[in-house]
Amino acid sequence: MENYYSSVAPIIEEAGVELRKGFGQADAVAFKSTHHGSAVTEFDRNIERLIAQRLGKIYPDIRFFGEEFGGDDKAERFWLVDPIDGTSNFIRGLPFSTTMIALIQEGCPVFSIIYNFMTKEMYSAAKGAGATLNGNAIHVSNRPLDHSYVFVETNKHKKENLEKYLHINQKFSIYATKNSGFEYCMVASGKIEGRITFGDPPGKDWDYAPGALLVAEAGGIVKNLGSNTYDYRNHEFIAANEEVYGELSSL
C-alpha cells in the first residue's frame, strides 16, 4: 500500500500550528445538540477546510468526509476526518484534544493518523505495517489484569449501561478524558490496557475508526461486541490487549 504518512503528516502538522493558537482561547460558535460535548468552534470548521483542500490537491481521486461539513462516505476510498476530537477540552485548555484522519478503503480503515497538536505527538498506523509514535514503533501493554486500566464509553443514562459500567469498574480502574483519539493512543502505546464502547455511545465513525486501526496495528485485539470481526460503522467494540479483551468480552 502507498506510504501516505509522508504526505499526510505535514498537512496535520500545519493544522496543528493553527490549532495551538486557539487552544484554551476559542469560544463555541454553535452546538450540534444538547449534549455537553457537542460544541463547535471556528477552528473546527477552518481546520476541516484546510485539511480537505490540502488532501484534495495531493489525492484528487480520494473523496473526503469530515465531521463538520460531511462529504462522500459512500465512495470506495475516502478520507474520514475529525478536525478537533475533544472540542470541549480544546475550549477549556485541557490537554486532551487531537486531530484524526482515517483512510477508508472498501469499507475498512487502512491508514490513520492521530495528532496531539499540543504535545506534537504524531501517532500513525497502516494496515499490515504496524503502529508508530513520531516514527517509532509502539505496542499495546502486557500488564496483568490486576494492574490494568481501561477507558469506557457508554450512555450511562440507561440503567443497563450504568450497571455494566459499574461491573467493569469492579474489575478495572476506569480512566476518562472525554477524547476518544487520545484514549486510543494511550491504549496503542501501552499506557492504558483497553477501551470499550457499548450501549449507544455518543461518538461517530470519525471518533473511532482512526484509533481502532492504531490499536490493532499496535498488536491489540479490536472486535465488535459479539463478533469475531470489526466494522468501523458499528460503534460497540473493544480495543485492548489480549488479556483485557478476553475479560471485557466475557462481561
- Go through the domains of the chain in sequence order and give each one's CATH number: 5-137 (3.30.540.10), 145-249 (3.40.190.80)
Band (pLDDT 50/70/90 cuts) for residue 38 is: confident
* CA proximity to 246, closest of 194, 188, 197: 194
Query: Mind listing the pLDDT tens digit for each residue in 197-235?
Result: 999 999 999 999 999 999 999 999 999 999 999 999 999
Average pLDDT of span 143-168:
96
- Provide the percentage of residues in the chain whose pLDDT is more than 90: 93
Question: Cα separation of 141 and 94, whole Å?
Answer: 26
Say what angle helices 180-188 and 205-217 make with each other, to 10 degrees. 10
Q: What is the pLDDT of residue 73?
A: 96
Q: Which residues contact 17 (CB under 8 A, 6 or more apart)?
A: none
- Provide the percentage of residues in the chain whose pLDDT is more than 70: 98
74 has a pLDDT exceeding 80: yes
* pTM reported for the whole predicted model: 0.96
* CA proximity to 158, closest of 200, 202, 204, 203: 200
